[in-house]
């Protein structure tokens, strides 16, 4: 059972880290030239345009976050691929065969998919007048999971049991990790919903 739980968590890790790092783009240590370049992308994905008198996604959803989260997904999948090819443990405990699936594509689909799922949820929240930062359980936790699984299904479709257990596990992980990163000052409360 522990092995199965590990495999489920390991499978969606590129999406989980992509989702969490998206709102940390301005706090990640980078050389000044890269940090300045990212700062220029700190503009809302919806460009501040409103639809029916409301923001489309909100000011917290930026191009910088989309880029940083997608890159984090690719880097995480890259580490997974290296471990897959170089250690027996990860070779037998990884659901995705990195010998057949390109880690860059998978990581981009997972990281980007997580953030697209979050954008869809934000769009719905704005239509329902749910303010940014206000908890909206379970959708705040499930949006990125669904987005990542759906988009990455282009290259890998997990068995139904894996998808269900992974989603349940990451809802719990997400609730706990949000509280931890807020208390550590890494994210503000309005950035985690």
What's the pLDDT tens digit per position in 148-187? 999 999 999 999 999 999 999 999 987 887 777 677 766 6
Residue 7 has pLDDT above 90, yes or no: yes
Q: What is the pTM of this model?
A: 0.87
Residue 25, pLDDT score: 63
Calpha distance 48→56 (Å, rounded): 8
């Amino acid at each position: 059972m522990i092995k199965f739980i590990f495999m489920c968590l390991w499978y969606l890790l590129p999406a989980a880290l992509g989702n969490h790092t998206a709102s940390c783009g301005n706090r990640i240590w980078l050389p000044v030239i890269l940090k300045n370049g990212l700062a220029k992308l700190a503009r809302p994905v919806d460009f501040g345009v409103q639809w029916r008198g409301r923001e489309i996604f909100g000011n917290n959803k930026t191009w910088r976050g989309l880029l940083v989260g997608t890159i984090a997904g690719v880097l995480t999948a890259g580490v997974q691929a290296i471990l897959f090819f170089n250690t027996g443990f990860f070779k037998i405990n990884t659901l995705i065969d990195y010998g057949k699936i390109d880690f860059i594509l998978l990581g981009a689909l997972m990281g980007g998919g997580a953030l697209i799922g979050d954008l869809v949820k934000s769009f719905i929240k704005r239509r329902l007048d749910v303010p940014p930062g206000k908890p909206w359980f379970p959708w705040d936790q499930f949006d990125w999971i669904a987005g990542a699984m759906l988009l990455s299904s282009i290259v890998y479709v997990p068995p139904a049991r894996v998808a269900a257990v992974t989603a349940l596990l990451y809802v719990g992980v997400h609730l706990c990790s949000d509280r931890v990163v807020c208390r550590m000052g890494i994210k503000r409360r309005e950035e985690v919903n």
